[in-house]
Amino acid sequence: IESVVNLIKERRNVVVLTGAGISVSCGIPDFRSKDTGLYSILDAEELGLSCPEELFDWEVFQESPQPFYTFARKLYFPLGSDERAKPSDSHKLLSLLERQKKLLRVYTQNIDGLEQEAGVSSKKIVYAHGSLQFATCLTCKRKVSAKEIEPDIL
């Protein structure tokens, strides 16, 4: 760890790649872990799906978005309460790097938006799998903040 700290101190342009591990400590499960991953804890049959992966099937969503909204609620409120997941120290480190003008870009596989929640500018983040931070109307293609539609889907 000391060598990584020294590298960061010495460099001006830091690029960070993140995945599920950065958010697991916030209570957000990864997708595929055997007993704790979202695919394990979501009951596909209860959601009317043949398998959990159908949550991300475009045709299934068009037919009924409700299973996806159930998934989104579990992601937003991972502990089953009305308290949102909070950014971890790792997310906060990304924000610190940006404030120090060292962060060039964050490439993330996560869709939870905790990087932005921690204070990282959206211009610095590339979401490899999209994000739950925004929603796009299927009819008119208008893009809005998820906070705008949150009461309707959560």
> Which residue is catalytic, options 11, 73, 99, 129?
129
Active site includes 91?
Answer: no
Coil/strand/helix, residue 104 = strand
* H/E stretch holding 68: helix 66-76
Query: What residues are paired with 18 via a beta bridge?
Result: 108
How many CA atoms lie within 13 Å of 108's alpha carbon, on the beta-carbon side?
A: 26
Active site residues: 129
